[in-house]
A and B are shown apart, each in its own frame.
Chain A
Amino acid sequence: MATAARPLYNFLVRRNYIFLGVIFAGAFGFEMAFDTISDRIWDNINKGRQWKDIRAKYIQSEDDE
């Protein structure tokens, strides 16, 4: 392990309760980041096809009535 990472390792992994917390927080953070990114990719692939893309038309037309 590189010497620069040594203090980080000591802090995060040495004590089990912190290591457990790191794992849970990491899973939470990864899930959020992964979902956000994949949603963005998905919406980009399906641009203009999903309901949220055409929803505005019908909301507005109801306000006019």
Chain B
Amino acid sequence: MLARSCLRSTRAVGAVRNGAVNTSKRAASTSSSEAASPFRLNMAGSAATAVAIGSMAWYYHLYGTELHAMTPTEEGLHPTKYPWEHAAWTKTFDHQALRRGFQVYQEVCSSCHSLSRIPYRSLVGVTHTVDEAKAMAEENEYDSEPNDEGEIEKRPGKLSDYLPSPYKNDEAARAANNGALPPDLSLIVKARHGGCDYIFSLLTGYPEEPPPGVKLPDGLNFNPYFPGTGIAMARVLYNDLVEYEDGTPASTSQMAKDVVEFLNWSAEPEMDQRKKMGLKVLAITSLLTALSIWVKRYKWSPIKTRKIVYVPPKMGGRPNGH
């Protein structure tokens, strides 16, 4: 209705401005009494627009804003994105780094964290030789099969044994750690938002002392990257904590980087093979795609280049019946 009256009003204005043209049109429908004044029409239009914008803003205010179940403190600080070289899609793990990372796990992390899904055999050909892996496995004792009396004796570890856990079970782990369970690290890179970035940030992100105003329960340490910022694990990586056998300087970030890469391997031991196979698949499929495009063009070329000519029959003469 508003639009129609607007149209009418412009037509009325036009009629005033250029009467000569409008004389031929039907001017009877545009009676002067029906045309509203431009001021009131502008007001009405502006008011309608304001109402529309206002209702949209109100709706957005009610339903449009993002809701967060947790405060930013509870979310934890987002980890920094680091340029992991092994994350590039044509790069394998750096196996020297994996070996160093295993050393860091063995000497530092394994006192609290288990790595229960990794057997010694999977280290062979990845970080260690067969003999080294056997020697490491034999350092631990495992339950053997029941003997003739039904007693279970201890035997030295074999390659097929899994890395020993520091605690007998989760309850023992909780009891030893002030109620906090150190998570198993086998799949931790896959199991945490941010993956490698998160774990690296967590390991290296402990401040010297918590910022003023932060109150944490006893036994918790401040780490901005940990959701809730209160983490039961204290900072463990300090410069020169381990001595690398290959002479790499064992700075905090170097150790964190190595152990994160090792944990990435333990979560995705198939990554090297997968990326290599992926590259082969891409090569073959691009070849086949190019081939199929060429075949299509080859087969269609006579159809695409043909010319259809229509010769109209001669008009006026008798229809020639052929």
Contact = CB atoms under 8 A, between A and B. Distances in A.
Which of A38, A51, A53, A57 has the most chain B CB atoms inside 10 A of its CB?
Answer: A51
Category for how many chain A residues contact B: 10 to 19
Interface residues of B, number: 22
Contact of A49 (B92, B131, B246): B92
Contacts, number: 44
B91 interface: yes
Majority secondary structure of chain A interface residues (helix, strand, loop or mixed): helix
Contacts of A35: 280
B276 A55 contact: no
B129 A58 contact: yes
B257 interface: no
Interface in A37-64: 38-39, 41-42, 45-46, 49-51, 53-55, 57-59, 62
Contacts of B93: 49
Contact of A45 (B90, B94, B246): B90
A34 interface: yes
B267 interface: no
A29 to B, nearest CB: 15
Nearest to B127: A51
B280 A46 contact: no
23 contacts: A34-B280, A35-B280, A38-B279, A38-B280, A38-B283, A39-B276, A41-B279, A42-B90, A42-B276, A42-B279, A45-B91, A46-B90, A49-B91, A49-B94, A49-B96, A50-B272, A51-B125, A51-B126, A53-B95, A54-B95, A57-B246, A58-B128, A62-B131
